[in-house]
Homo-oligomer: A and B are copies of this chain.
Amino acid sequence: MKIDRGGPAAAKSGKRERLVAAASRVLHEQGVEKTTLADIARVADVPVGNVYYYFKTKDQLVEAAIEAHAQGLRAVTAHLDQLPSPQERLKALLGGWTEQRELAARYGCPFGTLSSELGKRTDGLDHATAAVMRLLVDWVEQQFRTMGRDDPHDLAITLVATYQGISLLTNTFRDPELMTSQIHRLEEWIDSLA
């Protein structure tokens, strides 16, 4: 059964999907405000003015990119849930972040920088990013709860905040090894909690 994503007559051409994928990438590389619809349309190989056939406003395209992040996150956690122990699940999550360290060094965390920029707003997109961040924190919290900790929420905030902060410094100093060494500290911290 085909999912209707609200776009006019969900075409087979896949242009809507290309636009969302392009938006996700370009918004990460350039930031929301710096990015123009022309930038996204070029990467998606869609005529500029044509974008408005699929999205009524630029913000709706940004919102679709945020929802794509949510979907990607759900896919990742569903995959990690196959692992036998919460410690292994958390470490696998950290391992994925370490693998992305070169991207983080160049452009920061794909979702964190988006959240940083949209966090200044009060127009709904700020809530949309918060909802995705909540997905991540809730999943991590569940792992700590399964480990028998009585302060799973605090621990989850600590883990996610640490990753976000490391991403910022890794990007600011253009040094991917900061991610490697600090994630390593997080791994040892997880072991110390077990």
Chain A contact residues, CB within 8 Å of chain B: 29-34, 107-108, 112-113, 115-117, 119-120, 126, 129-130, 133-134, 137, 154, 157-158, 160-166, 168-169, 171-174, 178, 181-182, 185
Contacts and interface: CB of A to CB of B under 8 A. Distances in A.
B108 A172 contact: no
A139 B161 CA distance: 22
11 contacts: A33-B34, A34-B120, A113-B119, A116-B168, A130-B174, A133-B169, A137-B169, A161-B162, A161-B168, A164-B165, A165-B166
Given A115-B171, A162-B162, A165-B168, 15 more contacts: A32-B33, A34-B120, A108-B120, A119-B168, A130-B173, A133-B173, A134-B173, A154-B185, A157-B166, A158-B162, A158-B185, A161-B168, A162-B165, A163-B165, A168-B168
Contacts of A116: 108, 112-113, 116-117, 168, 171
Among A120, A129, A130, A171, the one with the most B-chain Cβ atoms within 10 Å of its Cβ is: A120
A108 B108 CA distance: 16
A157 to B, nearest CB: 6
Given A116-B117, A120-B29, A164 B157 contact: no
A119 B171 contact: yes
B169 A161 contact: yes
A108 B119 contact: yes
A34 B119 CA distance: 13
A172 B33 contact: no
A3 B142 CA distance: 57
Nearest to A129: B172
A135 to B, nearest CB: 12
Nearest to A33: B33
